[in-house]
Amino acid sequence: MADLRGIAWVNGKITSLEDAQVPFLDRGYFFGDGVYEAIKVTGGKLFALEEHLERFERSMKEIRIPAPKTKAEFSAIIRECVEKAEIPDAMVYLQVTRGVGPRMHAFLPKAEPMVTLFVSPMSDVAEVVRKAGVTCVTVADERWAHPHIKTLNLLPNVLAKQTAEEQGAYEAIFIRGEEPGGGLVTEASSSNVVAVVDGQVVTPPTNGSILPGVTRAIMIETAREAGIPVIERDLTLEELRRAEEIMVTNTGAEVLGVRELDGIPVGKGETGPITQKLYEVFMEGFAKRLS
Ligand code: PLP
């Protein structure tokens, strides 16, 4: 049985995660009509809370959900729940949907946005995995045209991650456009992608084709502070296939090395030295961004 420890907050009511319930007519259920954030908690402290809440506000604005609370109010609720949950290493999941009402496609004239949140355990990547690196497969990027918005419409991401799992891989990397050579790397099912190509650290730009990851942004900042330039430009599938190193970034795994792509070793087939360095400088910056 999956670990269901944790607490939930549903429009103001706190329950155990297992007992949390939302109304059947919530538009999140029928249409995926909502946005979300996932925030890491380490030792009871939140990582990059402000950055997450800023992206959350942007996401709501993009899909025209009136923000039901200010950032300060969301922040207070999150802190209250983290304290009540008493799980030092956890994830906070925060979601807003357009609300509850009769099932019709267009916005409901009177619906109140529905806020839900939960705190549940999330452990760090094991040291042995971090050293060895993970495996990835490539899949066609068949997502909608606005993947820069962190919406609940994750069906293509779910299918991609399942494809990865069925091949024993950690992540699925999305490729847009046709092969050979023409395909562009966008991101992975729940991570951003970074590669070391001809000695340069390259990551696809935030041009609307990827989710602007909080981990990605802080990784770029901490790398630059450490004197390692990160180039934001288009990355082709051909470059990814011959990259010296590949890494994925996300809230749960931070900066994680990829040892194999589509069954072929990347570099020496383990977490590479530049990945290790980028992880280390990221973790120095991590401690400074806990609150
Ligand atoms: N890309 C996608 C599609 C994601 O879903 C996520 C996180 O869930 C990321 C990238 C990484 O974003 P972050 O670093 O903010 O967790």
The predicted pLDDT at position 178 comes to 76
The two structure tokens encoding residue 77 = 């609720």
Q: Which atom of ligand 1 is nearest to the CA of 192?
A: 10
The predicted pLDDT at position 181 comes to 58
Q: For residue 101, what are the CA distances in angstroms to 23, 30, 65, 176?
A: 9, 11, 15, 37
Is any ligand 1 atom within 6 A of the Cβ of residue 119? no
User: pLDDT tier at 177 (50, 70, 90 boundaries)?
Assistant: very high
Instruction: Please state at what angle helix 214-225 crosses helix 273-288, rounded to 10 degrees.
Output: 100
Catalytic residues: 150
- The CA 192 to ligand 1 mean position distance, Å, reads 6
Pairing of strands 134-140, 254-261: parallel
- The CA 91 to ligand 1 mean position distance, Å, reads 13
Q: Atom 10 in ligand 1: which residue has the minimum CA distance?
A: 191
Nearby residues of 20 by Cβ (< 8 Å), 6 or more positions away: 8, 10, 116, 118
- The CA 252 to ligand 1 mean position distance, Å, reads 9
pLDDT at 18 over 90: yes
pLDDT at 182 over 90: no
Question: Mean pLDDT in the chain?
Answer: 96
Q: What is the DSSP letter of 126?
A: P
The predicted pLDDT at position 3 comes to 77
Q: What is the pLDDT of residues 120-155, one digit of tens each?
A: 999 999 999 999 999 999 999 999 999 999 999 999
The predicted pLDDT at position 180 comes to 56
pLDDT at 179 over 80: no
Is any ligand 1 atom within 6 A of the Cβ of residue 186? no
User: pLDDT tier at 2 (50, 70, 90 boundaries)?
Assistant: confident
pLDDT at 101 over 70: yes
The predicted pLDDT at position 1 comes to 58
pLDDT at 17 over 70: yes
Q: For a pLDDT cut of 90, what percent of the chain falls above it?
A: 96
Model pTM score: 0.95
- The CA 187 to ligand 1 mean position distance, Å, reads 9
Neighbours of 209 (CB within 10 A): 20
Q: For residue 62, what are the CA distances in angstroms to 33, 92, 147, 149?
A: 12, 22, 11, 7
Short-list 62, 41, 184, CA closest to 118 = 41
pLDDT at 40 over 70: yes
Least confident of 14-23, 92-101, 170-179, 281-290: 170-179
DSSP 44-110: TEEBSHHHHHHHHHHHHHHTTPPPSS-HHHHHHHHHHHHHHHT-SSEEEEEEEES-BSS--SSPPSS
Is any ligand 1 atom within 6 A of the Cβ of residue 187? yes
How many residues are present in the chain?
291
Q: Which atom of ligand 1 is nearest to the CA of 187?
A: 1
